Amino acid sequence: MSSASPGKAANGRFQVVCPILRESMVKKICILPGDGIGPEITAQAVRVLEALGLGLEMETALLGGAAVDATGDPYPEATRQLASQADAVLLGAVGGPKWDTLPREQRPERGLLGIRKHLNLFANLRPAVLYPELANASTLKPEIVSGLDILIVRELTGDIYFGQPRGIENRNGERFGFNTMHYTESEIRRIGRVAFEAARRRNRKVCSVDKMNVLETTQLWRDVMNELAPEYPDVTLSHMLVDNAAMQLVRAPRQFDVMVTGNMFGDILSDEASMLTGSIGMLPSASLDENGKGLYEPSHGSAPDIAGQDVANPLATILSAAMMLRYTFGMEDAACRVENAVKKVLAKGLRTGDIFEPGMTRVGTEQMGDAVLAVLG
Ligand code: NAD
């Protein structure tokens, strides 16, 4: 990976060392609130970005169900143009039961897959870090999860999610559903390099996850990872079948440093890893292209069950904004200001419902945003 090299900073936190985009020019962010809790949580992240006083230019557009309602298209042309022009995109989440019966091409998720593909965001980085204050929020015992610091590197633009042919047809008098899993060796090599580079700046361990005992595509995945390994003699490569990986993540998660896997397995494992940390509402993510441009979004979905109630946790989105400052804009200090503010708020005992425990102070979405703003150094 030449221009966006993920790593761990001297202070131990994960970062991507990338060229600061257009140093002297206005930095433009495309804001895509999306559906469900998306607008509520994105609003808090925007407030934080504004409060930093960095002169960031922000413009909002439609994606997902909101875009379907307004234009009939989950990824409309106006959004496509804005996303192309922007240096970075901040996304809430898309989807909800309202759109689940639409033809597949019009469903909100198509907007999400569309923007990922359009921006060529092939690498999804999801840190799963356990905040000490939330050790009890995990469903696992503190001794299993304390000190957890995993990075899941998920390939994002290939695999069965994009493979053709796909569909549901009538065959031999019954409905027949089918999808196609495929990867080219160059796609595997590209994401493998991201993982190896990331591991070099962490604990120098990559665990590649596949299902090579059943799926030929993932036999190729394993072969290419093995071919890459000699280029990184300082990194230890191991392999794990996805079913075992799912088990090991809850049995002994601290054995992992960097996990790298395909789109579908990564989708599932990164959600599982997120629960180790106590709440899906705490986990940011970055999806990067080869030049440091990125789409930043919380790891969770649009949570229609709690939408519009001012109870959603905005911290994953706020932390996603911090990742944006670091990875795309190279603003390490500003990113740290945001992350430290989140830590201070947790240390003060403020909790949204998803991470609430007795003795803490329950706050809503906007109150949590207020609290972060109040302690932003
Ligand atoms: P979800 O992540 O939206 O919700 C799962 C559970 O976590 C729910 O109980 C929800 O209330 C809770 N939750 C999620 N985010 C939270 C937050 N910030 N604060 C507090 N609680 C939170 O997953 P789901 O229910 O499987 O999916 C709901 C919709 O979201 C579906 O339409 C799905 O397609 C969509 N989705 C979108 C994305 C995305 O936009 N990236 C990702 C996953 C799912």
Which residue pairs, CB below 8 angstroms and at least 24 apart, start in 218-227? 218/262, 220/183, 220/185, 220/188, 221/183, 221/188, 221/262, 224/185, 224/188, 224/189, 224/192, 225/188, 225/192, 225/260, 227/189
Query: In this predicted structure, what is the pLDDT of residue 17?
Result: 39
> Does residue 44 have its Cβ closer than 6 Å to ligand 1?
no
> Does residue 93 have its Cβ closer than 6 Å to ligand 1?
yes
Fold agreement between 1-122+289-377 and 123-278: yes
- Catalytic status, residue 370: no
Query: In this predicted structure, what is the pLDDT of residue 10?
Result: 35
Query: In this predicted structure, what is the pLDDT of residue 292?
Result: 79
> Does residue 33 have its Cβ closer than 6 Å to ligand 1?
no
pLDDT digits 0-9 by tens, 323-352: 999 878 989 899 999 999 999 999 999 999
Instruction: Identify the active-site residue in 8, 27, 211, 293.
Output: 211
> Does residue 283 have its Cβ closer than 6 Å to ligand 1?
no
Helix (H) or strand (E) holding 341: helix 332-347
**Whole-prediction pTM:** 0.82
Class of domain 1-122+289-377: alpha beta
> Does residue 305 have its Cβ closer than 6 Å to ligand 1?
yes
Q: For a substitution probing ligand 1, which of 98, 287, 302, 366 has the most ligand atoms within 8 Å of its CB? A: 302
Instruction: Identify the active-site residue in 100, 141, 243, 305.
Output: 243
What whole-number distance in Å separates Cα of residue 255 and Cα of residue 80? 41
All residue ranges of the chain with pLDDT < 50 are: 1-22, 24
Query: In this predicted structure, what is the pLDDT of residue 134?
Result: 87
Please say whether the beta carbons of 90 and 60 come within 8 A: no
Query: In this predicted structure, what is the pLDDT of residue 330?
Result: 87
- Catalytic status, residue 267: yes
> Does residue 280 have its Cβ closer than 6 Å to ligand 1?
yes
User: How close is the Cα of 31 to the center of ligand 1, in Å?
Assistant: 19
- Please state which of the four CATH numbers 3.40.1160.10, 3.30.930.10, 3.40.50.720, 3.40.718.10 is assigned to the domain occupying 123-278: 3.40.718.10
What DSSP assignment string belongs to 62-74?
Answer: --THHHHHHHS-S
Q: Where are the domains of the chain?
A: 1-122+289-377, 123-278
Query: In this predicted structure, what is the pLDDT of residue 136?
Result: 81
Q: Looking at ligand 1, which residue's alpha carbon is closest to its atom 33?
A: 95
Query: In this predicted structure, what is the pLDDT of residue 7?
Result: 40
User: How close is the Cα of 301 to the center of ligand 1, in Å?
Assistant: 3
Atom of ligand 1 nearest to the CA of 99: 32
Q: Looking at ligand 1, which residue's alpha carbon is closest to its atom 40?
A: 93
- Which residue in this structure is represented by tokens 């898309």? 94
Instruction: Identify the active-site residue in 69, 223, 271, 370.
Output: 271
Query: In this predicted structure, what is the pLDDT of residue 51?
Result: 97
- Catalytic status, residue 87: no
User: How close is the Cα of 300 to the center of ligand 1, in Å?
Assistant: 5
